[in-house]
Amino acid sequence: MTSQRTRDRLIQRLVDQGVSNQRVLDVMANTPRHIFLDEALSHRAYEDTALPIGHGQTISQPYIVARMTEILLGAGGVLSRVLEVGTGCGYQTAILAQLVDEVWSVERIRPLQDKARQRLSLLRLRNVHLRHADGHAGWPEDQLFDGIISTAAPREVPEGLLKQLAPNGVLVIPVGADTQTLTMIIRIEDTDEYKTQRLEPVRFVPLVAGTTR
């Protein structure tokens, strides 16, 4: 069930759904998704579906991971520093870490972050920085980010994330409550102006304020 054939079938499905960035497809083909799941669910790891990871959260559907990653990479700029809001199990983090120079990722639920840390070190991904924090504020005391990805949906785009975009930086984020829209926001040069593009309907867990131990 975790055979290369099963994984290849998933990648073909992503291609069929319109994912076209070969680097993203290659990284997803070579990253084990089953290690990000509890054993009882690992046999379903290569289905194109979101699955529970405990604490009321989910691992994102592979199609969504691929799509958000290719949007981020395709926006044009050089991606050396990327921020992820909502580490969860760490799967999206692992994909990003293989495609950009450095990844910063924040998670509000401590036990999820602890498990993600173990999995990322199992994969020897050392260009990842994790923090237990409320991602509404991003990673404020650091430099600006070329790319920001949120894997949880706010009702409205948090001001704190916009402020942390580098000139021409791109934010990819699901926005909305009951119906959500995957949204791409690009900071125009070094101004305080942004270009917003609404892309497609999606379904994510909500971005929740505060942290839990």
Cα R_g (the chain), whole angstroms: 16
Q: Which is nearer to ligand SAH, 58 or 98 (CB)?
A: 58
Q: Which is nearer to ligand SAH, 168 or 208 (CB)?
A: 208
Instruction: Considering only residues 157 through 176, tell me which ones interact with ligand SAH, judged by CB under 6 A.
Output: none
- 60 tagged catalytic: yes
Q: Does 14 bind ligand SAH (CB under 6 A)?
A: no
Instruction: Considering only residues 71 through 90, tell me which ones interact with ligand SAH, judged by CB under 6 A.
Output: 85-89
How buried is residue 174: exposed, middle or buried, by Cβ count under 10 Å (0-12/13-18/19+)? buried
Q: Which is nearer to ligand SAH, 18 or 52 (CB)?
A: 52
Whole-number minimum distance, CB 189 to ligand SAH, in Å? 28
Strand ranges of the sheet holding 194-202, from the earlier edge strand across to the other edge: 128-132, 102-107, 81-85, 145-150, 165-175, 180-187, 194-202
Whole-number minimum distance, CB 188 to ligand SAH, in Å? 26
Q: Does 185 bind ligand SAH (CB under 6 A)?
A: no
Strand pairing report for 194-202 and 180-187: antiparallel
Closest alpha carbon to 89 in 109, 64, 68, 103:
109
Residues near ligand SAH (CB under 6 A): 57-60, 85-89, 91-92, 106-109, 112, 134-136, 151-152, 205, 207-208
Catalytic residue IDs: 60
